Structure 1
Amino acid sequence: MANLPPSHYPEIGSLGEDLVAQWLQSRGWIILHRRFSSRWGEIDIIAQHDGRYGEAEEQGENFLLAQRPANTTQRSLLAFVEVKTRSSGSWDAGGRSAITPQKQAKISRTAGMFLAQYPEKADYSCRFDVAIVYCQRISKNLTGVMAKEALATSSAAGYKFKLQEYILAAFDSSVDSS
Structure 2
Amino acid sequence: MAARKGCHSFCPIAWRLVEHLGEFGVAVAADVLVVGPGDDGYSDNLAMARWLQQTVQGMLNPELKDLSIPVIDADFSKAGDPRYFWTEYVSAADGEIALTWHDIGDPLLIHTEPNQEPNPRPYGVCTVLVPALSGRLTLNGQQARGKPWPGEREGRPFSTSALAFWGELDRTPLEV
Q: TM-score per shorter chain, which class?
A: under 0.3
Larger RCO: 1 or 2 (CA < 8 Å, sep 6+): 1
Judging by fraction of residues, say which structure has more helix: 1
The normalised TM-score by structure 2 is 0.26
The normalised TM-score by structure 1 is 0.25
